[in-house]
């Protein structure tokens, strides 16, 4: 049973969560608990709050990843100890475990470690003694050459507590893994956008992973992946309601053609580099440089679009200033068939001071070619996710027709086996989600 | 119950597959307003019961992938609506699997970089939660697969 930040945020929430654990025990199960840090962003022990303590010392100095991990892990340690003590006060002895005490070994990447193995012997011993183990989510230990016998604490990155929950469930061959949150389960759309969006009673691991990938992070895909590999039923339930929740199962247990939901990602910026000015022989080299640079700065890409005359992609808005900083005014000299050619990059239709300065310096050189990236700020990705549905004739037509009838401008499209996505102006997100939800009959989905 | 259990797949690329038998349609020089003209084309293709993959808007039209066996049907329906188009046969999709790739920042860019560097004639690239499908000329598919298998972040997973 994994309890997210909101389920352990207050003494009342912890009491409600604890009663769910006790109820499972009274039904004859041997519950094992995984907890997130107390509260979400803004709460004193939430991950972001702890990180702010370091940044507040001197924002210009980046904290060491090793020290950052040690600090961040404190949030879950506090949470596990308090949760275990809450259970004890209710008459059910419990033991808190840090990640390494629970036997979680990682690959040693600070801030984004992956679980490589779990040896659950301490947890089994604790259960055999009648305790309820309460494990810190989001952390594990790396034991490698040159390190002390205690190993190194590493955190698991995004979705770390969900991942801990699924992995512990797999290691213990659990009957099920239940992820408790403050919503009733996986919804057909964000309830902030579609007020009465139904809760899906059953979805496949693939569907939930795609839904998470495209914006609705109810369960992290890493947790779904582990549950899928070990065939462990995964549930998403609401700590604060008696709704039965959503069961996540393999494809074989839930076949059929259906639309699962409509999702939307966060804020994106779309860039389309125009290569029409570029010598054919140099296009691939320049394109290669662009993607090398994006990889170097670890930029996340969405909506990739490569064509003979351009290359385009969307980046998260928070990464856009870095992209702009790197590319706007960048000069790449290359030797082409006609000798040396200087390529000057410009982001957006208006030349910035950097581009104008570079252009004036390059004026004496004859062979200068500008590569302009058309810029569309304020975009978002709205996606229709489905199961054995997207390959049907007319799905694209239905999506685009619905949006056009509502006068929503579609900038670009993208699709996969399980989804059809459209890039639209961010201001239209609410309307797009609502009309697609209605058009594909999701109001009555179960 | 207390034995050690292995877990998450290694980060990076875990598997590369080739799917053959596709044709690429390029519709261009559509009349303004483009959005209306694109719908006209999509309606014609839908009425011909054609399943489309990798739909992309281009500056003057759209492109998409269909099953090669349906290329004649596509041509017929596009002729009926009277648009300018081309159908390129012998297209394959090379699918690069990378579990949880969105949390490995820069991984998608590194895969694309590697694909471009291979020299394969790339028609289109897209992404889902665990894979990057790349549309290429069928003659280049094996070569692209081999190049990507030599990628430093390729760790074959047998499962």
Q: Is residue A422 over pLDDT 70?
A: yes
Q: Is residue A44 over pLDDT 80?
A: no
Whether residue A413 and residue B57 make contact (CB cut-off 8 A), yes or no, is yes
Kindly calculate the radius of gyration of chain B based on its CA atoms and give it in whole angstroms: 19
Return the structure tokens found at A84.
């275990």
Measure in Å the smallest separation between the Cα of A373 and chain B Cα atoms.
14
pLDDT tens string, chain B, 159 residues long: the values are 556 666 776 677 888 999 999 999 999 999 999 999 999 999 999 999 999 988 988 888 999 999 999 999 999 999 999 999 999 999 999 999 887 777 777 888 889 999 988 989 888 888 777 789 999 999 999 999 999 988 766 665 544
Q: Which superfamily, per CATH, for B22-89? A: ACT domain (3.30.70.260)
pLDDT of amino acid B144: 95
Cα separation, A397 vs B77, in Å, equals 15
pLDDT of amino acid B103: 73
Cα separation, A105 vs A99, in Å, equals 8
Whether residue A213 and residue B6 make contact (CB cut-off 8 A), yes or no, is no
Angle, CA A23 vertex, CA A88 and CA A4 arms, to 5°: 75
Measure in Å the smallest separation between the Cα of B129 and chain A Cα atoms.
5
- The reported pTM is 0.83
pLDDT of amino acid B158: 45
* Domain ranges in chain A with CATH number 3.40.1160.10: 2-255
Residue of B nearest to A125 (CA): B2
* Domain ranges in chain A with CATH number 3.30.2130.10: 378-440
Q: Nearest to residue A387, comparing CAs of A274, A256, A234, A229?
A: A256
Return the structure tokens found at A200.
């899906």
Q: Which of B1, B8, B49 to mutate to test the interface with A (most CBs of A within 10 A)?
A: B8
Span A294-309, average pLDDT: 85
Measure in Å the smallest separation between the Cα of A178 and chain B Cα atoms.
19
Q: Is residue A40 over pLDDT 80?
A: no
Map out the domains of chain B as residue ranges.
15-19+91-149, 22-89
Return the structure tokens found at B26.
């390029």
- Residue B138 or A151, more confident: B138
CATH class of residue range B15-19+91-149: alpha beta
* Domain ranges in chain A with CATH number 3.30.70: 268-377
Secondary structure (DSSP) of A285-310: HHHHHHHHHHHHTT---EEEEEETTE
- Residue B39 or A219, more confident: B39
> What is the pLDDT of chain A when averaged over all its residues?
90
Q: Is residue A162 over pLDDT 50?
A: yes
Lowest model confidence (mean pLDDT) among A232-236, A358-362, B90-94, B152-156 = B152-156
In chain A, residues with a C-beta closer than 8 Å to the C-beta of B122 are 306
Span A256-275, average pLDDT: 89
pLDDT tens digits, A18-31: 999 999 999 999 99
Alpha-carbon separation of residue A81 from A5, A14, A135, A136, B97 (angstroms): 14, 12, 9, 9, 39
Q: What is the DSSP letter of A313?
A: E
Q: Which of B26, B34, B65, B109 to mutate to test the interface with A (most CBs of A within 10 A)?
A: B109
CATH number of A378-440: 3.30.2130.10
CATH number of A2-255: 3.40.1160.10
Measure in Å the smallest separation between the Cα of A1 and chain B Cα atoms.
18
Lowest model confidence (mean pLDDT) among A122-136, A145-159, A348-362 = A145-159
pLDDT of amino acid B3: 63
Whether residue B55 and residue A396 make contact (CB cut-off 8 A), yes or no, is yes
Whether residue A167 and residue B119 make contact (CB cut-off 8 A), yes or no, is no
Q: Is residue A43 over pLDDT 80?
A: no
**Which of A107-116, A249-258, B43-52, B123-132 holds the top average pLDDT?**
B43-52
- Give the number of other CB atoms < 10 A from CB of residue A194: 21
CATH class of residue range A268-377: alpha beta
% of chain A at pLDDT higher than 70? 97
SS3 A281: helix
The most distant pair of C-alpha atoms in chain A lies apart, rounded to whole Å, by 83
- Give the number of other CB atoms < 10 A from CB of residue A23: 11
Task: Determine if the peptide bond prior to B151 is cis (ω within 30°).
Answer: no
Rounded to two decimals, the ipTM of the complex is 0.86
- Residue B38 or A303, more confident: B38
- State the pLDDT confidence band at A209, using cuts at 50, 70 and 90: confident
* Backbone region of residue A367 per phi and psi (left: phi > 0; alpha: psi in -120 to 50; beta: other values): beta
Q: Which of B93, B116, B144 to mutate to test the interface with A (most CBs of A within 10 A)?
A: B116
Return the structure tokens found at B70.
């349906």
Of A170, A221, A298, the CB nearest to B5: A170
Instruction: For chain A, positions 9-68, list CB contacts with chain B under 8 A.
Output: none
Cα separation, B80 vs A181, in Å, equals 54
- Residue A247 or A229, more confident: A247
Cα separation, A175 vs A231, in Å, equals 10
What is the interface size between A and B, counted as CB pairs within 8 Å? Answer: 175
In chain A, residues with a C-beta closer than 8 Å to the C-beta of B50 are 393
Span A106-115, average pLDDT: 89
Span A185-207, average pLDDT: 90
């Amino acid at each position: 049973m994994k309890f997210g930040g909101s389920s352990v945020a207050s003494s009342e929430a912890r009491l409600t969560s604890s009663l769910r654990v006790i109820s499972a025990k009274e039904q004859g199960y041997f519950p094992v608990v995984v907890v997130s840090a107390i509260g979400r962003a803004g709460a004193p022990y939430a991950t972001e709050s702890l990180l702010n303590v370091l940044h507040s010392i001197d924002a210009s100095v980046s904290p060491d990843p090793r020290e950052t991990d040690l600090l961040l892990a404190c949030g879950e340690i506090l949470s596990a100890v308090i949760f275990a003590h809450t259970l004890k006060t209710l008459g059910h002895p419990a033991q808190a475990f840090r990640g390494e005490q629970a036997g979680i070994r990682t690959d040693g990447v600070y801030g984004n470690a992956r679980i490589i193995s779990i040896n659950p012997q301490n947890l089994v011993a604790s259960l055999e003694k009648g305790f309820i183990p309460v494990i810190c989510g989001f952390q594990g230990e790396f034991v490698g050459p040159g390190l002390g016998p205690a190993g190194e604490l590493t955190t698991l990155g995004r979705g770390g507590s969900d991942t801990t929950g699924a992995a512990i469930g797999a290691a213990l061959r659990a009957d099920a893994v239940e992820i408790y949150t403050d919503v009733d389960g996986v919804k057909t759309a964000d309830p902030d956008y579609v007020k009465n969006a139904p809760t899906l009673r059953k979805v496949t691991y693939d569907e939930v992973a795609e839904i998470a990938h495209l914006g609705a992070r109810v369960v992290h895909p890493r947790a779904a992946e582990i549950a899928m590999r070990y065939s462990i039923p995964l549930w998403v339930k609401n700590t604060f309601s008696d709704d039965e929740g959503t069961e996540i199962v393999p494809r074989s247990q839930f076949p059929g053609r259906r639309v699962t939901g409509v999702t939307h990602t966060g804020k994106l910026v779309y860039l389309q580099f125009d290569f029409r000015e570029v010598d054919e022989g140099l296009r691939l080299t320049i394109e290669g440089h662009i993607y090398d640079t994006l990889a170097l700065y670890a930029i996340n890409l969405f909506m990739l679009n490569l064509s003979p005359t351009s290359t385009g992609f969307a980046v998260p808005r928070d990464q856009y200033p870095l992209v702009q900083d790197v590319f706007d005014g960048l000069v790449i000299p290359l030797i082409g068939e006609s000798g040396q050619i200087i390529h000057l990059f410009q982001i957006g239709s208006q030349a910035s001071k950097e581009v104008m300065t570079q252009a004036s310096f390059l004026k004496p050189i004859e062979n200068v070619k500008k590569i302009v990236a058309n810029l569309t700020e304020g975009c978002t990705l709205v996606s229709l996710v489905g199961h054995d549905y997207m390959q049907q004739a007319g799905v694209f037509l239905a999506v685009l027709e619905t949006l056009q009838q509502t006068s929503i401008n579609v900038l670009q499209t993208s699709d996969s086996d399980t989804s059809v996505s459209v890039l639209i102006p961010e201001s239209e997100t609410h309307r797009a989600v609502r009309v697609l939800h209605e058009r594909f009959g999701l109001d009555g989905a179960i | 119950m207390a034995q050690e259990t292995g877990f998450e797949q290694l980060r990076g690329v875990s598997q590369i597959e080739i799917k053959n038998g596709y044709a690429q349609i390029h519709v261009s020089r559509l009349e303004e307003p483009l959005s209306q003209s694109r719908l006209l084309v999509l309606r014609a293709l839908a009425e011909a019961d054609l399943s489309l993959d990798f739909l992309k808007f281009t500056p003057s039209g759209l492109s998409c992938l269909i099953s090669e066996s349906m290329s004649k049907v596509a041509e017929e329906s596009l002729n009926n609506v009277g648009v300018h188009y081309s159908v390129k046969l012998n297209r394959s999709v090379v699918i690069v699997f990378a579990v949880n790739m969105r949390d490995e920042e820069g991984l998608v860019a590194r895969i694309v970089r590697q694909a471009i560097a291979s020299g394969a004639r790339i028609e289109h690239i897209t992404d889902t939660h665990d894979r990057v499908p790349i549309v290429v000329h069928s003659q280049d598919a094996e070569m692209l697969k081999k190049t990507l298998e030599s990628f430093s972040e390729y760790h074959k997973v047998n499962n």
